Amino acid sequence: MPRLVMKFGGTSVADLDRIRNAATRVKREVDRGFDVAVVVSAMAGKTNELVGWVRQTSLLYDAREYDAVVSSGENVTAGLMALTLQEMGVPARSWQGWQVPLRTNASHGSARIVSIDTEALEKKFGEGLHAVIAGFQGLSPEGRITTLGRGGSDTSAVAFAAALGAERCDIYTDVDGVYTTDPRITRKARKLERIAYEEMLELASLGAKVLQTRSVELAMRYKVKLQVLSSFSDVPGTIVCDEEEIMESRVVSGIAHSRDEAKVTVIGVPDRPGIAAALFGALAEGGVNVDMIVQNISADGRTDMTFSCPVDEVPRARVAIDAAKASGALDFTGLDVDEDVSKVSIVGIGMRSQTGVAHRMFQALARDGVNIKVITTSEIKVSVLIDRKYLELAVQALHDAFELEKIS
């Protein structure tokens, strides 16, 4: 029988009524002839509550016990979903990550998937049982429960779809697909019928909240077709697929934004080999997630190096940079931090074959008086840092400039 993985996020299983609603959707697919593996998140708000309890108990908590506590939310949902399906006449059994097992490395709190042993699941499918799997969790080499990081249930779902050879992985959430930009910023935002893996990966990494970045990476690597759709309506969702399955590549498919960014400039750094490695090595060790990087022109043997990072990581960046200076690994004359910036990006696989895309973007921003502080580009994206107060204006201007309201 064909197989389907259905993943339900926290808002889709927030209470018993919503679990019943999700179970009804599962039964519909079972009745269509699918062997279904359901992957569930914890009920909305439960993971945050569990994390809060851990931090109240111990500020310097044991990461292994953190995972034991925080993973429990998915266990509850999986059991309730299996019970609900049974009441609907669908033979179902719940599975925790260690029972499958989904094996990970030992990086508690942000574990990476190593392998999935599907033998036991395959046997249950053969017996006519459907699986309800607790997402977000796995089993370390030491036999401890691990968690995959926030949004890890998406990654679990895609990994199971790949391991089981599923026809598709449906990601149910509180939105009905992937939009050209955030509909809360502009009413002109349009839902995309299809989007390429590469575009979705860029949008996810640049601030779009629809899918977790690692889940898109896995889907692209293993050619798992994704569908993003709503648990609360029956309208078709957005298919995330190979570029070849899209009739015509759009120049720009979407606009992503990240509101709370910071621009950090390390002033007067010696312009010599190894200095960038010293700076960004210190930041990496300090756990700072660096994004955009720009180095200025050298003058008198010194230069300035600018990077962006999430604004809540600025304190860690300051500590890491000061520590590197104190140890003698890094020399600089000053540090300038702007914590009032946002990042706006345009993304589209059509940029590979079109000229003038960056000019069109910059011209649109200039018309509305939006000054650009930093620019970075890749093959299918252009990102800029701007003053945060202009974020909504910039998104609307770019959406209009590339006529994204005409996308269907």
Residues 6+ apart with CB under 8 A from 163: 116, 118
Please, where are the H alpha helices in 289-346? 314-326
pLDDT at 89 over 70: yes
- Residue 198 included in any domain: no
Q: Which two tokens stand for residue 399?
A: 């959406």
pLDDT tens-digit profile of 30-67? 999 999 999 999 999 999 999 999 999 988 899 999 99
- Coil, strand or helix at 389: helix
269 known ligand binder: no
Rounding to the nearest 10 degrees, give the CA dihedral for residues 351, 183, 212, 202: 10
d(CA 36, CA 82): 12
Residue 7 annotated as lining a ligand binding site: yes
Task: Assess whether 126 and 46 both reside in one domain.
Answer: yes
Q: What share of the chain has pLDDT > 70, as a percent? A: 99
Q: What is the DSSP string of 336-377?
A: EEEEEEEEEEEE-GGGGG-SSHHHHHHHHHHHTTPPP-EEEE
Mark which of 159, 174, 189 sits at the end of a domain.
174
For residue 48, which phi and psi values (nearest 5 degrees)? -60, -40
Residues 164 and 269 in one domain: no
Q: What is the pLDDT of residues 254-292, one digit of tens each?
A: 999 999 999 999 999 999 999 999 999 999 999 899 999
- Phi, then psi, of 54 in degrees rounded to 5: -60, -45
Q: Average pLDDT of 11-17?
A: 96
Q: Rounded to 5 degrees, what are φ and ψ at 243?
A: -55, -35
pLDDT at residue 204, as a whole number: 86
Is the pLDDT at 364 greater than 70, yes or no?
yes
Tell me the torsion sign for CA atoms 179, 343, 312, 331.
positive
Q: Which residues contact 185 (CB under 8 A, 6 or more apart)?
A: 257, 392, 395, 396
pLDDT(68) > 90: yes
Do 267 and 157 reside in the same domain of the chain?
no
Instruction: Indicate the pLDDT class of residue 73, thresholds 50, 70 and 90.
Output: very high
Q: Is residue 76 part of a domain?
A: yes
CATH number at residue 353: 3.30.2130.10
Beta strands at 102-104 and 145-147: parallel, antiparallel or unpaired: unpaired
Residue 211 has pLDDT above 90, yes or no: no
Residue 296's pLDDT band (boundaries 50, 70, 90)? confident
Reported as a single tens digit per residue, the pLDDT across 298-339 is 888 999 999 999 999 999 999 999 999 999 999 999 999 999
pLDDT at residue 1, rounded to an integer? 83
8-state DSSP, 260: E
Average pLDDT over residues 168-178: 93
Question: Is 217 contained in some domain?
Answer: no
Sign for the CA dihedral angle at 200, 204, 207, 208 comes to positive
- Ligand-binding site membership of 181 (annotated): no
pLDDT computed for residue 23 by the predictor: 98
Q: Is 6 helix (H, G, I), strand (E, B) or coil?
A: strand
Task: State mean pLDDT over 175-179.
Answer: 91
Around Cβ 49, how many Cβ atoms within 10 Å?
12
The CATH number of the domain holding residue 31 is 3.40.1160.10
374 has a pLDDT exceeding 70: yes
* Residue 194 placed within a domain: no
Whether the Cβ atoms of residue 100 and residue 177 lie closer than 8 Å to each other: no
Structural contact between residues 308 and 263, judged by C-beta atoms closer than 8 angstroms:
yes
Instruction: Give the per-residue pLDDT at 205.
Output: 81
Domain shared by 164 and 30, yes or no: yes
Q: Count of domains in the chain?
A: 2
Residue 180 maps to a domain? no
Going 11 to 132 to 239 to 289, the CA torsion angle's sign is positive
191 confidence band (pLDDT: 50, 70, 90)? very high
Known binder of ligand: residue 369?
A: no
Please check if 184 is assigned to a binding site: yes
Position 287 scores a pLDDT of 87
pLDDT averaged over the chain? Answer: 94
| Confidence at 408, pLDDT banded by 50, 70, 90 | low
For the chain, how far is it from start to end, CA to CA, in angstroms?
Answer: 33
44 and 167, same domain (yes or no)? yes
* Residues 126, 30 share a domain: yes
Binding residue per annotation — 174?
yes
**Could you give the CA distance from residue 334 to residue 347 in angstroms, rounded to a whole number?**
35
In a domain, 183, yes or no: no
Q: Which of 146, 174, 202 is the last residue of a domain?
A: 174
pTM of the model: 0.86
Q: Tell me if 288 is assigned to some domain.
A: yes
Tell which of 153, 174, 195 closes a domain: 174
Q: According to the annotation, is 376 in a ligand binding site?
A: no
251 and 167 together in one domain: no
Q: Do the domain assignments include residue 314?
A: yes
Cα gap 297→307, rounded to integer Å: 15
Residue 47: domain span: 3-174
Q: Is 9 annotated as a binding residue?
A: yes
Provide the percentage of residues in the chain whose pLDDT is more than 90.
88
Do 118 and 258 fall within a single domain? no
| Gap between the Cα atoms of 41 and 19, Å rounded | 11
Residue 161, φ and ψ in degrees, nearest 5? -60, -40
Tell me how far apart the alpha carbons of residues 368 and 383 are, in angstroms, rounded to a whole number. Answer: 17
Burial group, residue 329, by CB count within 10 angstroms (0-12, 13-18, 19+):
middle
Kindly state whether residues 64 and 153 are assigned to the same domain: yes
Let me know whether 170 and 252 are in one domain.
no
Amino acid of residue 87: E
Q: What is the pLDDT of residues 112-134, one digit of tens each?
A: 999 999 999 999 999 999 999 99
Lowest mean pLDDT: which of 63-72, 247-256, 382-391?
Answer: 247-256
Residues 291 and 161 in one domain: no
Task: Verify that 249 and 166 share a domain, yes or no.
Answer: no
Residue 35 sits at φ, ψ, to 5 deg, of: -80, 120
- Helix, strand, coil percentages for the chain (3-state, nearest 5): 40, 25, 35
Cross-strand bridge partners of residue 346: 255, 382
What is the CB neighbour count within 10 angstroms for residue 65? 15
Contact 274, 228 (CB under 8 A): no
